[in-house]
Amino acid sequence: MALLIQNTYQFKFDPAAKMPFTDVNESMASYEAIQAMTQQGITLGVSETTFGPSMNMNRYSFSVFLARAENPLLFK
């Protein structure tokens, strides 16, 4: 999901910034996508330190990601 959204929207991000999620590591294909979406406020993770990359995603969560990608101010 993170790769799909990042490839579509091409969010700018700082690759040198610290990843806040302990369950996301640099060897993951989606690492930069998750980093970009976190920096842009599109994802908040399942907690302050956990993203949950192996968790199943429901339609509600995916819809929120898409809505935030289209309009980051929507939920602020």
CA distance 75 to 27: 31
* pLDDT value at residue 72: 79
pLDDT in tens, 19-61: 999 999 999 999 999 999 999 999 999 999 999 999 999 999 8
Q: What is the pLDDT of residue 5?
A: 94
Report pTM. 0.90
How far from the centroid of its chain's Cα atoms is residue 34's Cα?
Answer: 4
For residue 75, what pLDDT is reported? 76
